[in-house]
Chains A and B, each alone.
Chain A
Amino acid sequence: MSRTAIWYWAARAAFGWLILLAAQVIWLVADTAGVPLSVHVTGLVATAVVAAAHVTVMPQWRYRVHRWEATPAAVFTQSGWFRQEWRIAPVSRIQTVDSERGPLEQLFRLANVTVTTASAAGPIKVGGLDRDTAQRLVAELTANAQATAGDAT
Chain B
Amino acid sequence: MSGPGGGPLSGPAETGWRRLSPRMLLVHPVQEVVRAAPALLGLLVAGTSSGGKGHLWSAAGVGLTVLFGMLRWFTTTYRISPEQVQVRRGLLNRKVLTVPRDRVRTVDVTSHVLHRVLGLARVEVGTGTSDRRHDSRLKLDALSADEAARLRVELLHRSPAGQFPGTQAPAGQSPTAQSPTAQSPATSPVSPAAETELARMRPGWVRFGPFTMSGLVTVGVIGGFVSRLVSEGNIDLDRVGPVRETWRWFSAMSLALEIATVLLALMVFVGVASTLGYVLAYGNFRLTRHAEGTLHVTRGLLTRRATTIEERRLRGVEIDEPLLLRAVRGARLSAVTTGLRSKEGGQRGGSTLLPPAPRTEAVAVAGLVLSHTPGATGGPSPVTGPDTGPLTSPLTSPLTVPLIPHGPAALRRRFTRAFGVHAPILLALLLLWVLGEPPLWPWLTAAALLPVTALLAADRYRSLGHALTSGYLVTRWGSLVRRRVVLRCDGVIGWTVERSFFQRRAGLATLTATTAAGAQSYQVRDVDLAEALRLAAAGTPGLLDPFLEPAGSASQ
> Residues on A close to B: CB < 8 A?
67, 69, 71, 73-74, 76, 78, 82-90, 92-93, 117-122, 124, 148-153
Contacts and interface: CB of A to CB of B under 8 A. Distances in A.
A88 to B, nearest CB: 5
Interface in B104-163: 128, 130
Contacts of B514: 89, 117, 119, 121-122
A119 B542 CA distance: 21
Given A78-B550, A93-B379, A151-B378, A121 B520 contact: yes
A118 to B, nearest CB: 4
A59 B543 CA distance: 31
Interface of B: 128, 130, 179, 181, 313, 338, 376-380, 491, 493-501, 504, 512, 514-517, 520-521, 536, 540, 542-544, 546-547, 550
Contact of B377 (A84, A117, A153): A153
Central interface residue in A67, A69, A74, A89, by most chain B CB within 10 Å: A74
Contact of A152 (B181, B379, B536): B379
A88 B547 CA distance: 9
A85 B547 contact: no
Nearest to A87: B496
A120 B520 contact: yes
B544 A150 contact: no
Given A69-B547, A73-B542, A84-B504, A119 B520 contact: yes
Given A117-B514, A118-B516, A119-B493, A74 B543 contact: yes
A49 B314 CA distance: 56
Contact of B379 (A71, A74, A87, A150): A150
Nearest 5 pairs of A and B residues by beta carbon: A150-B378, A122-B514, A121-B521, A118-B516, A89-B494
20 contacts: A69-B546, A73-B546, A74-B546, A76-B547, A82-B501, A86-B495, A88-B547, A89-B514, A90-B494, A90-B543, A93-B379, A117-B493, A117-B494, A117-B516, A118-B516, A121-B496, A122-B514, A122-B521, A153-B377, A153-B491
Contacts of B520: 119-122
A138 to B, nearest CB: 18
Given A150-B379, A152-B378, A85 B546 contact: no
A121 B520 CA distance: 6
A30 to B, nearest CB: 38
Contacts of A71: 546
Nearest to A71: B546
Contacts of B380: 90, 92
Contact of A119 (B376, B501, B504, B515): B515
Contact of A88 (B379, B495, B499): B495
A118 B128 CA distance: 10
Contact of A83 (B491, B498, B540): B498
B130 A74 contact: no
B550 A88 contact: no
Contact of B496 (A73, A122, A151): A122
Given A78-B550, A88-B547, A150-B181, A122 B377 contact: no
Contacts of B498: 83-86
A122 B379 contact: no
B379 A90 contact: yes
A67 B542 contact: no
B339 to A, nearest CB: 9
Nearest to B517: A153
B494 A83 contact: no
A7 to B, nearest CB: 26
B338 A153 contact: yes
B16 to A, nearest CB: 28
A150 B499 contact: no
Contacts of B495: 86-89
A88 B543 contact: yes
A149 B378 contact: yes
Contacts of A67: 550
Contact of B493 (A78, A84, A118): A118
Contact of A150 (B179, B543, B547): B179
Nearest to A118: B516
Contacts of A78: 550
A151 B68 CA distance: 43
Contacts of A85: 496-499
A86 B493 CA distance: 14
A141 to B, nearest CB: 14
Given A73-B546, A90-B493, A118 B338 contact: yes
Nearest to A121: B521
Given A89-B494, A117-B516, A118-B493, A83 B501 contact: yes
A82 to B, nearest CB: 5
Contacts of B493: 89-90, 93, 117-119, 122, 152-153
Given A119-B493, A121-B520, A90 B540 contact: yes
B520 to A, nearest CB: 4
Nearest to B522: A121
Contacts of B500: 82-84
B530 to A, nearest CB: 14
Contacts of B179: 150
Contacts of B376: 150
Nearest to A84: B499
A102 B147 CA distance: 53
Contacts of A119: 493-494, 514-516, 520-521
Contacts of A86: 495-498
Nearest to A120: B520
